[in-house]
Amino acid sequence: MNEYYPNLFSPIRIGSLTLKNRIMASPISLFDLSPTPEHKHSLNDRLFYRLRACGGASVVTVGDSIVHPGGNTEGFNDNKVNIYMRSSIPYLLDITDEIHRYGAYANIELNHDGIRAAFPGHDAWSASAYERDNGGHVLEMTEEMIEEVVDGFGISARNAKDAGFDMVMIHAGHGWFLGQFLSPFWNHRTDRFGGSIENRARITLMVIDRIRKYCGNSFPIEVRLSGDEAMPDGLPGIDINDAIEFAKLLDRKVDLIHVSAGNNNFDSSEMVTHPSMFLEHGVNVKYAAMIKPHVKTPVVTVGAISDPAMMEDIIARGRADLVSIGRALIADPLLPEKARHGNTGDIRPCLRCWRCLGEACETGALYCSVNPEIGRAFDHFYPLPATSPKTVLIAGGGPGGMQAALTAAKRGHHVILCEKENELGGTIRYCKDISFKKDMDDYREYLVRQVMESGSIEVRLGVTVTPELVREISPDHLIAAIGADPVIPPIPGIEHAQGLLDTYMHRLPVGNRVVIIGGGLSGIEAAIEFAHAGKTPIVLEMSSRYAAGSNIMHGFAMNVEIEKYGIDIRTDTRCTGIAPGKVTCENADGTYELDADTIIYAAGMRARRDETDALRESCFEFESIGDCKKPAQIREAVTGGYFAAMNI
């Protein structure tokens, strides 16, 4: 019995398999794929799944594998694995081998995109006819079409088994194909596949039977469903009562019932599927807990679960039998092993910022804000020690500087980290008092703890690195991570406004009616925070787009909050003057005034180039990282620090 989390690290029997613990790695798609018909993966993908397996999860799931030629989404990661192709098997064997080498079981998610595969020139198949906003047509499926796709699931499961997968997950939630048959929003049929929940579930039960036919009764099947589709107000959808009835129909026919929530066809619903930083951790556990008393089949829960203590509580209280973890295992794939050994303080927190999958939706590349080894897992398994230890001086103790210090020290260098303030953290110290930034503050504490407890990093607080200090220390390498300063916009009367960073860092008072000058990412997040606090924010943005620096998923999450709180955002609007309690604005319709209790500017950051250039001249081997090189977001700072240290 594990002394730290006895329930979480107890084994469980799933069909013919005995899992070593109750932690499953949620489905994550392969991203680095070739343009071949099979969509062959790269070495990066292989090592990504090896990393998830070596971290201690009992099951590692490959996501979103397509079971039918017509089932792939156009324009949205449309290079998914074509599991229906027999020629995919040799490539997938590489992935299952990587998972098996650490004692984990390999699972794969079988899916068909349904309506989301419709685009101009390509008709999609689904439960009922539908016209998409992109001009794509969706055809109501005949029974022959249904039979074809059902057989596609069976063939794909057989291919998965032959490729070394130990089980399969049938995706019947989130508004994908089988979920479209289940949902009264999409399914308007009057035949045996429409109407009652039994009829709407019929195709999923046919899929289960077909997989049993192709793979045998001892091959485990997991079904993923939405405990509630969380549809926008006024739209019909699956609710918990439907989900309970569906789970009863699945009971004893499958080996795992995986309870998620939401519908990816609507922004507000998708943020339930993938809980944003604005929602509480474990927000969807309640659905699994409500379904579990009605079934004998083990139940899985998922959704922003990253704290081992929460996982232990879920299992101990019988709210679910297993937990599935997605983004938290991107931030720290070793989370299960660290928890098993009681080293929870070493777990790198996930920010729920969506730089991983949100950015991957746009670029096809999977990275992480806080884990620089994601996308380059080769570094984890084949680390390069220092050829000869060097003295490395790092100026600045923000996230980039701390990551550089940790990486350099791990590689065997002597590291001196200087921070001009009396505490480490840099500008992310502002997160302390922001409700939805607790994950970021936890990450700051994690970095500080890792640095202070490393035993090989000399930390000097309250010390500004100057050219004179560099000459005194005479390091072999100097890394500048000295940050940036807020831009003060040249607006008449700007002295009557306060900077956003000053507002947070110095806890300046904020009145009820707040005008924020600048609708970038920081300005919009500030408006959301003030709205949460019951204030009335108004955002002025010169351009036609607000929060331009956000990835697509975090953008969806912010839009949900903006709509929920009715936040007033005025784009194409310029602030032309400020007076006490007054802001003068100008847009295409003319000039007007706004009353304000507090006026805040959030006009971006300016790199400390002069200070950086002075340091550049003081050491032959020099690198600048983070905001002092180019103001950006935390991923750029952390990755920059990692690269700078790896290159020494």
Question: Is the separation of the CB atoms in 412 and 389 below 8 Å?
Answer: yes
Are 511 and 617 within one domain? no
Give the domain CATH number at 192.
3.20.20.70
User: Could you give the percent of the chain with pLDDT greater than 90?
Assistant: 83
Are 70 and 168 within one domain? yes
* Backbone phi and psi for residue 314, each to the nearest 5 degrees, phi listed first: -60, -45
Question: Is the separation of the CB atoms in 635 and 369 below 8 Å?
Answer: yes
- The H-or-E segment that residue 622 falls in is strand 622-624
- How far apart, in whole angstroms, are the C-alpha atoms of residue 395 and residue 482? 6
Sign of CA dihedral 400, 405, 407, 413: positive
Q: CA-CA distances (angstroms) from residue 559 to 153, 250, 278?
A: 36, 36, 11
Question: Is the separation of the CB atoms in 211 and 154 below 8 Å?
Answer: yes
Are 431 and 344 within one domain? no
**Residue 1: inside a domain, yes or no?**
no
CA angle 506, 509, 511 (to 5 degrees): 150
Give the domain CATH number at 538.
3.50.50.60
List the one residue out of 366, 353, 398 whose CA is nearest residue 550. Answer: 353
Non-local (6+) Cβ contacts of 525 within 8 A are 434, 558
CB-count exposure of residue 101 (10 Å: 0-12, 13-18, 19+): exposed
Q: With both helix axes pointing from N to C terminus, report the angle between 438-452 and 399-410 in degrees, rounded to the nearest 10.
A: 40
Are 334 and 303 within one domain? yes
Letter for the amino acid at 60? V
* Averaged pLDDT for residues 439-444: 96
At residue 79, the pLDDT reads 66
DSSP state of 263: B
Q: CA-CA distances (angstroms) from residue 285 to 1, 237, 273, 351?
A: 25, 19, 12, 19
Residue 175 CA, chain-centre distance (Å), reads: 19
Letter for the amino acid at 445? E
| Position 87 confidence tier, pLDDT thresholds 50, 70, 90 | very high
**Residue 459: inside a domain, yes or no?**
yes
Question: Is the separation of the CB atoms in 82 and 34 below 8 Å?
Answer: no
Helical H segments across 276-325, by residue range: 285-291, 308-316
At residue 381, the pLDDT reads 87
Which residues are paired to 108 by β-bridges?
62, 168
Are 418 and 515 within one domain? no
Give the domain CATH number at 413.
3.40.50.720
CA angle 331, 328, 2 (to 5 degrees): 110
Which 3 state secondary structure label does DSSP give 221? strand
**Residue 2: inside a domain, yes or no?**
no
**Residue 512: inside a domain, yes or no?**
yes
- How far apart, in whole angstroms, are the C-alpha atoms of residue 2 and residue 498? 52
Cβ count near 252 (within 10 Å): 9
Q: CA-CA distances (angstroms) from residue 453 to 405, 409, 448, 463?
A: 12, 12, 8, 20
Are 468 and 425 within one domain? yes
At residue 71, the pLDDT reads 81
- How far apart, in whole angstroms, are the C-alpha atoms of residue 198 and residue 205? 10
Are 468 and 510 within one domain? no
Structurally, how many domains does the chain consist of? 3
At residue 76, the pLDDT reads 47
**Backbone dihedral region for residue 95 (phi beyond 0: left; psi -120 to 50: alpha; all else: beta):** alpha
Which tens digit of pLDDT belongs to each residue from 35-61?
777 778 888 889 999 999 999 999 999
- The beta-strand segments (E) located in 99-185 are 105-111, 124-126, 130-131, 137-140, 167-171
* Averaged pLDDT for residues 162-177: 96
Residue 71 CA, chain-centre distance (Å), reads: 24
List the one residue out of 408, 448, 410 whose CA is nearest residue 428. Answer: 448
At residue 75, the pLDDT reads 47
Sign of CA dihedral 396, 399, 403, 409: positive
* Backbone phi and psi for residue 517, each to the nearest 5 degrees, phi listed first: -95, 105
**Residue 5: inside a domain, yes or no?**
no
Which 3 state secondary structure label does DSSP give 158? helix
List the one residue out of 483, 462, 474 whose CA is nearest residue 401. Answer: 483
| Position 78 confidence tier, pLDDT thresholds 50, 70, 90 | low
**Residue 126: inside a domain, yes or no?**
yes
Sign of CA dihedral 433, 438, 442, 447: negative
Non-local (6+) Cβ contacts of 105 within 8 A are 17, 19, 58, 59, 60, 99, 166, 167
| Position 145 confidence tier, pLDDT thresholds 50, 70, 90 | very high
At residue 380, the pLDDT reads 87
**Residue 171: inside a domain, yes or no?**
yes
Which tens digit of pLDDT belongs to each residue from 182-192?
999 999 999 99
Q: Which domain holds residue 167?
A: 12-378
**Residue 4: inside a domain, yes or no?**
no
Are 477 and 571 within one domain? no
Domain end, chosen from 363, 378, 393, is at 378
DSSP state of 345: G
* Averaged pLDDT for residues 463-485: 96
Are 410 and 450 within one domain? yes
Q: CA-CA distances (angstroms) from residue 162 to 94, 136, 165, 457?
A: 12, 35, 7, 50
Are 91 and 155 within one domain? yes
Letter for the amino acid at 251? D
Which tens digit of pLDDT belongs to each residue from 153-168?
999 999 999 999 999 9
Does residue 433 have a pLDDT over 90?
no
> What are the helix and strand counts (H, E) for the chain?
22, 28
Among all chains, which residue has been given the structure tokens 């030629």? 69
Non-local (6+) Cβ contacts of 502 within 8 A are 486, 508
Domain end, chosen from 350, 378, 406, is at 378
* Averaged pLDDT for residues 616-626: 94
Tokens coding 434: 């922001």
Are 149 and 34 within one domain? yes
| Position 362 confidence tier, pLDDT thresholds 50, 70, 90 | confident
The overall average pLDDT reported for the chain is 94
Are 468 and 556 within one domain? no
- The beta-strand segments (E) located in 451-589 are 457-461, 477-480, 484-486, 498-499, 513-517, 536-540, 568-570, 574-579, 582-587
* Averaged pLDDT for residues 383-402: 93
Work out whether strand 256-260 and strand 299-302 pair parallel, antiparallel, or are unpaired.
parallel
User: Could you give the percent of the chain with pLDDT greater than 70?
Assistant: 99
- The beta-strand segments (E) located in 215-289 are 221-226, 256-260
Domain end, chosen from 320, 354, 378, is at 378
* Averaged pLDDT for residues 433-439: 92
- How far apart, in whole angstroms, are the C-alpha atoms of residue 306 and residue 328? 6
- How far apart, in whole angstroms, are the C-alpha atoms of residue 615 and residue 611? 6
Which tens digit of pLDDT belongs to each residue from 308-335?
999 999 999 999 999 999 999 999 999 9
